[in-house]
A and B are shown apart, each in its own frame.
Chain A
Amino acid sequence: MPDPAMSAQPKSDPHPLIRMQAIRKSYFSGDIETPVLHGIDLTIERGEFVAIMGQSGSGKSTLMNILGCLDTPTSGTFNLDGAEAAQLSDNDLAAVRNRTIGFVFQGFNLLKRMPLVDNVALPLLYAGVSMREARERAMKKLALTGLGTFGKRLPNQISGGQQQRVAISRALVCDPALILADEPTGNLDTTTSQEIMELFTRLNREQRITILIVTHEPDVARYATRLVRLKDGLVTYDGPVAGAHF
């Protein structure tokens, strides 16, 4: 588990958290190849807060899935936290998803029939932590996102914004170095979106967690410090959010 204090590394770190080089990804249906990513170079240091923008279909989710070790690139190298993803076994990848990465989805993706505390505790159980300790730690993370008293409720008994907070608690529960959020505010109204983004900002500032967030909305992207713009599978802008025009 990465020590939060260690996450704040200077830019000259020989091992950035993420280094992608010439990443290409094509989908195949039968013999027909649909290229989606055409060679992405991307380096992200620890402690950064990056927004990824781009039109629908530009390949943002595809990129996020590769970053999250849920999918593999067709070619190119992807180094995460000093390890070559291509060389990791299925079990290693599962461990990376479990400990290094926390995923937040647009549709929340909570398990419907499980109480919130168990939803949050689940990654810890896969990490081999005992049920009792996992629940305790899950309750702490729920408290961190402002849902300390909601542990026993089921996902369908709370609002969308609250569900996304639960999902963020779950993403945080193994103290990851990186949070990947694919349109986390896509299903939420403006006020709730702001609350969620403030939460991300707090996590980034206070716990030095690296955050990557995909969004359509400039207002959401402005919470980040760095903007990466994708168009048709290529990076067309990579620089500070301030100064970028939306």
Chain B
Amino acid sequence: MGIWQVMIEAFRAMGMNRLRAGLTMLGIIIGVGAVVLMLAIGESVRGDINQRITAMGSNLFIVFPGSSTANGVRAGRGAAQTLTQADAQALAGIENVEYSAPIIQQPFQVAAGNNNWNAMVYGVTPEYFSIKAWDTEAGSLFGDIEMRSLSRVAVLGRTTAQNLFGDMNPVGQTVRIRNKPFEVIGVLADKGSDLGGGDQDDAVFVPLATARQQVIRTWFPGSVNLIMVQAARADRMKDVEQDIVQTLRIRHRIREDQEDDFTVRDLSAIAEAAQGIATMLTLLLGAIGSISLVVGGIGIMNIMLVSVTERTREIGIRMAIGAKRRDVLLQFLTEAVVICVCGGAIGIALAYAGGLAVSRFSPLAVEISSFAIAIAFSFSAMVGVFFGFYPARRAAGLKPVEALRYE
């Protein structure tokens, strides 16, 4: 008997007991739907994290003052406790370092006209924008000229610009920080939230020298809050990190037996950890989905066993008119696979709808890939074969005369 004929018979058998076929299918629908949707959600979380990592800047170190000792207490060590702008310059000279950007920061109530808004004000050098690969969507960034001339210019993040100016174009307008007027020369492109969930667009950037002289009070002249260092190559991160530590220890005159008075954090390591967590999350969600798929498969097996028992006489009749064991095996196996594949198709459709719903009502953009669909489809067929095989073999193993006698 051809496979096509066997399929027709399988559909006919399903049609004979629609409620049962439907309920059996429900297990597979839920299982496949769960696997596909869970994997898609996991994938989208991972994509989201990747995007944030890229936005953060690649091959990045953050150097901040104070040591990170085992008990977490940052021990002060005299005058060398703080990082300085000179340190940043020294770090820029290290081999394989692309940029070194010193940063000072302080939150202020920033005013524009009658509006005011609490934002973090950063004093940065032009290198900062290079490291973050961050450009303006309107106006321009400040450069070395503005740095040297102590210009009172500011570049706004999207969120801050929105809150201070609404729909108006802020470029050319004035914002007041500590009652000092700054001319807005640019608005930055949307950057989104950072790994910790903070809004990177809620910020005001001014030239470092201007900030130091006119708004932000630092620990002592020349000190900075942190230094961002970008390595030129990903495979040189370890060397660069060692060189940073060495350079700073020498500059801060730290003796052999003393601890660092600064901390170097490799952001790519953090990014890797975050990606690892996202992968784990995807696996976990996939595992949860798979469990429901297995439960659905056991449901199939259960129903197929009942069906084989109920149709013992039919099997006997088929054998009496010439069905080989293989024909009977194929018939029941096909029924299980047809149920699973139909259930799988519906499950995929539901997962698709679920994905649309999640995308709509959460910040995640869930997308069901055709790869996931192909996997889910073949997986459900495999579930059918796996869980259909035992009942089908039971049917095929019946003795014709005994099957015929069954009432």
Binding site for B on A (CB under 8 A): 65, 68, 70-71, 90-91, 94-95, 97-99, 103, 105, 109-111, 113-114, 122-123, 125-128, 130-131, 170, 174
* Max count, chain A CB within 10 A of own CB: residue among B4, B319, B321: B321
Which residues on A sit within 8 Å (CB–CB) of B319? Answer: 70, 94, 97
Binary per-residue interface labels of chain B (28-64) against chain A in the complex, 1 for a CB within 8 Å, 0 otherwise: 0000000000000000000000000000000000000
A203 to chain B, nearest CB (A): 17
The answer to whether A103 touches B321 (Cβ under 8 A) is yes
Which residues on A sit within 8 Å (CB–CB) of B2? Answer: 125, 128, 130-131
Q: Is B251 an interface residue (CB 8 A)?
A: no
The answer to whether A70 touches B322 (Cβ under 8 A) is no
B129 to chain A, nearest CB (A): 72
In the bound assembly, the distance between CA atoms of A174 and B401 in angstroms comes to 21
In the bound assembly, the distance between CA atoms of A126 and B315 in angstroms comes to 13
Which residues on B sit within 8 Å (CB–CB) of A90? Answer: 324-325
Which residues on A sit within 8 Å (CB–CB) of B326? Answer: 91
* Max count, chain B CB within 10 A of own CB: residue among A122, A130, A170: A122
Give the residue name and chain of the B residue nearest to A124 (CB).
Answer: B322
Q: Is B288 an interface residue (CB 8 A)?
A: no
Q: Is B320 an interface residue (CB 8 A)?
A: yes
Which residues on A sit within 8 Å (CB–CB) of B12? Answer: 113-114
In the bound assembly, the distance between CA atoms of A105 and B323 in angstroms comes to 17
The answer to whether A91 touches B324 (Cβ under 8 A) is yes
Q: A111-B314, A111-B317, A126-B327 are in contact. Are A94 and B322 (CB under 8 A)?
A: yes
A-B pairs with beta carbons under 8 Å apart, 6 shown: A94-B323, A113-B12, A123-B322, A126-B318, A126-B322, A126-B327
A89 to chain B, nearest CB (A): 10
B36 to chain A, nearest CB (A): 34
The answer to whether A126 touches B314 (Cβ under 8 A) is no
The answer to whether A65 touches B401 (Cβ under 8 A) is yes
B195 to chain A, nearest CB (A): 61
In the bound assembly, the distance between CA atoms of A65 and B1 in angstroms comes to 25
Which residues on B sit within 8 Å (CB–CB) of A94? Answer: 319, 322-325, 327
A114 to chain B, nearest CB (A): 7
In the bound assembly, the distance between CA atoms of A174 and B322 in angstroms comes to 10
In the bound assembly, the distance between CA atoms of A99 and B5 in angstroms comes to 20
Binding site for A on B (CB under 8 A): 1-2, 4-5, 12, 16, 313-314, 317-327, 399-401, 404
* Max count, chain A CB within 10 A of own CB: residue among B16, B320, B324: B320
The answer to whether B324 touches A128 (Cβ under 8 A) is no
In the bound assembly, the distance between CA atoms of A60 and B155 in angstroms comes to 103
In the bound assembly, the distance between CA atoms of A109 and B313 in angstroms comes to 9
The answer to whether A125 touches B401 (Cβ under 8 A) is no
The answer to whether A71 touches B400 (Cβ under 8 A) is yes
Q: A109-B317, A111-B318 are in contact. List 4 more A-B contacts (CB 8 A).
A: A71-B399, A94-B319, A94-B323, A131-B2
A78 to chain B, nearest CB (A): 14
Which residues on B sit within 8 Å (CB–CB) of A65? Answer: 401
The answer to whether A70 touches B404 (Cβ under 8 A) is yes
Give the residue name and chain of the A residue nearest to B399 (CB).
Answer: A71
Give the residue name and chain of the B residue nearest to A91 (CB).
Answer: B324
Which residues on A sit within 8 Å (CB–CB) of B4? Answer: 131
The answer to whether A126 touches B321 (Cβ under 8 A) is yes
Which residues on B sit within 8 Å (CB–CB) of A122? Answer: 318, 321
Which residues on A sit within 8 Å (CB–CB) of B325? Answer: 90-91, 94
Q: Which of A68, A123, A125 contacts B5 (CB 8 A)?
A: A125
Give the residue name and chain of the A residue nearest to B402 (CB).
Answer: A71
The answer to whether A97 touches B404 (Cβ under 8 A) is no
In the bound assembly, the distance between CA atoms of A125 and B326 in angstroms comes to 14
In the bound assembly, the distance between CA atoms of A68 and B325 in angstroms comes to 17
The answer to whether A98 touches B322 (Cβ under 8 A) is yes
Give the residue name and chain of the B residue nearest to A126 (CB).
Answer: B322
In the bound assembly, the distance between CA atoms of A109 and B406 in angstroms comes to 12
The answer to whether B320 touches A126 (Cβ under 8 A) is no
Which residues on A sit within 8 Å (CB–CB) of B314? Answer: 111
A105 to chain B, nearest CB (A): 8
Give the residue name and chain of the B residue nearest to A121 (CB).
Answer: B5
In the bound assembly, the distance between CA atoms of A198 and B318 in angstroms comes to 27
Which residues on B sit within 8 Å (CB–CB) of A68? Answer: 320
In the bound assembly, the distance between CA atoms of A25 and B115 in angstroms comes to 104
B381 to chain A, nearest CB (A): 24
The answer to whether B16 touches A95 (Cβ under 8 A) is no
In the bound assembly, the distance between CA atoms of A99 and B399 in angstroms comes to 19
